[in-house]
Amino acid sequence: MNRSFEVVIGLEIHAQLATVSKIFSGASTAYGAAANTQACLVDLGYPGVLPVLNEEVVRMATMFGLAVNATIAERSVFARKNYFYPDLPKGYQISQYELPIVEHGELIIRDDTGNDKRIGITRAHLEEDAGKSIHEGLDKFSGIDLNRAGTPLLEIVSEPELSSAKEAVAYMRKIHTIVRYLGISDGNMQEGSFRCDANVSVRPHGQQELGTRTELKNLNSFRFVEKAINFEIERQIELIEDGGEVVQETRLYDSDRDETRPMRSKEEANDYRYFPDPDLLPVEIDAAYIEAVRETLPELPDAKQERFVDEYKIRVDDAAILTASRSLADYFEQVAAATRDRPQGVANFVIGELAGALNRDGLGIEQSPVSAAALAGLLDRVKDNTISGKIAKEVFEAMWAGEGSADEVIDARGLRQITDTAAIESVVDQVIAANPGQVAEYKAGKQKLIGFFVGQVMKATGGKANPGQVNKILKDKLG
């Protein structure tokens, strides 16, 4: 990154709220239905129909506000944002403008230097989503599917306080984690349930006023957010260094070409003529309601991470990984509660073997073939020396493949560890007898060869000898 420029980024995240019906109508929000079969008269903006607000969206917005330490407005107002576009059936979008439901929140992220950084959340407001335009296969037409029209969105607007693409991603990930913790959004980025626009500008170091910003649209993955912002930063810096000027405009990120380009359809200067929607009345929320919602708030990622470090004495980085998703954290806690193994041992296994297997098979923690109880059973067998840590990995793979519980796999495969001293001694004796040269070298002072002997013993026992005992017996016998 060019050092003589400072980067200023603000994000507008749209999180689709996980309701079963739409924000202003009783039509289903289920994804993937045949075109326009989930667009009722209200969603279609039919003459004479009226919007009625879904109570769940108010609860969800309130939850989010409380989670980011924001103010919940006692009175919020829906406004109309007027513009014409085929995916916007009424010719206006119902949104919130002057009086949003959530204001003045904050979030702590880790910045590029690894320090905590507070990012302000200007506001979060409720609004309805638009439909979809389909351009393929319709010759000189575009087709409009309004199934998505009226789906509830929470638009979360950050202060322009993010200083790099990486910070922007860290912020976005954190919001993603929070909305999923709260259960207010599924956060599914492929289906567009969680997407973001980025306002990006650069200015020479020391300059007070902000540079001209561009708005990047169509950022529907964390990777694209990072790439698009980085592309845009470079583009703006080059432009300025070449003596040009940044034009305030909306740009679309093209992931195929990894570049941003101006959006043609938004060229005309918009005058949205916001005004309070006369079909909807002010939403009033009292303190009792807010307190009732607060009672239902789950433990949030930051608090959970802190508790994991305190309570389980695991490493901070591991706690961060485990608490990135509520279900992963729950899984960890279930294993930790059920096993006699140390929590750090559980953390290591969950982050290492389990996460690796989930990742390899493209599964979420909820779909893990090895339950928390089953994993606890496996870790117990390591703890009580029934098997070694190394054999545990083999047993885990077998459990993953559906071969049964840890004990069943151990028995079926005969993997029980040899802890009988006499049996180990007899193998050690054979190894010493078979390798006189190495024994001489060891005795001459080449202590490192102990590893060779251990390896030979383990090989001879099929990995089942207890490594601690093998070590001790070897050292005794080799003198």
Binding region for other proteins (CB under 8 A) out of 141-149, 171-179, 336-344, 423-431: 141-149
The two three-digit tokens of residue 133, written as one number:
């335009």
Contact 111, 132 (CB under 8 A): no
- Whichever of 56 and 306 has its CB closer to other proteins, that residue is 56
CB 203 within 8 A of CB 213: no
Strand pairing category for 214-219 and 250-254: parallel
Q: How far is the CB of 151 from other proteins (least distance, A)?
A: 13
**For other proteins, which residue of 28, 71, 163, 221 counts as binding (CB under 8 A)?**
28
Burial status of residue 395 (CB atoms within 10 A of its CB: 0-12, 13-18, 19 or more): buried
Quick check: 142 binds other proteins (CB under 8 A)?
Answer: yes
Q: Taking Cα atoms as reference points, which of 216, 277, 271, 270 lies closest to residue 93?
A: 277
Residue 25 near other proteins by CB under 8 A: yes
Minimum distance, C-beta of residue 73 to other proteins, in the bound complex (Å): 13
Of 193, 125, 191, 197, give the one whose Cα is nearest residue 154: 125
Per-residue mark of binding to other proteins, 42-81 (x: CB under 8 A): --xxxxxxxxxxxxx-x------------------x--x-
Q: Are 180 and 186 contacting, i.e. CB atoms less than 8 angstroms apart?
A: yes
Q: Quick one: 35 or 454, whose CB is closer to other proteins?
A: 35
Q: Is 32 helix (H, G, I), strand (E, B) or coil?
A: coil
Site for other proteins in 247-286 (CB under 8 A): 252, 263-265, 271, 273, 275-276, 278-284
| Window 294-353: residues binding other proteins (CB under 8 A) | none
DSSP state of 350: I
Tell me how far apart the alpha carbons of residues 438 and 339 are, in angstroms, rounded to a whole number: 41
Judged by CB under 8 A, which of 39, 162, 225, 329 binds other proteins?
Answer: 39
Q: Are 229 and 9 in contact (CB under 8 A)?
A: yes
Distances (CA, A) of 335 to 137, 316, 341, 410: 52, 19, 9, 19
Residue 85 or 452 with smaller CB distance to other proteins: 85
Chain positions 366 to 405 lying near other proteins, rule: CB under 8 A, are none
According to the binding rule CB under 8 A, does residue 134 interact with other proteins?
yes
For other proteins (CB under 8 A), the number of binding residues is 64
At 382, the amino acid letter reads V
Work out whether 35 is an interface residue with other proteins (CB under 8 A). yes
Residues 83-122 that bind other proteins (CB under 8 A): 84, 86, 89-92
197-256 residues near other proteins, rule: CB under 8 A: 252
Between vectors from CA 29 to CA 100 and to CA 44, what angle results, nearest 5°?
80
> Which range of residues in 140-148, 155-163, 180-188, 434-442 is near other proteins by CB under 8 A?
140-148
Residue ranges that bind other proteins, judged by CB under 8 A: 19-21, 25-28, 34-41, 44-56, 58, 77, 80, 82, 84, 86, 89-92, 133-135, 138, 140-146, 252, 263-265, 271, 273, 275-276, 278-284
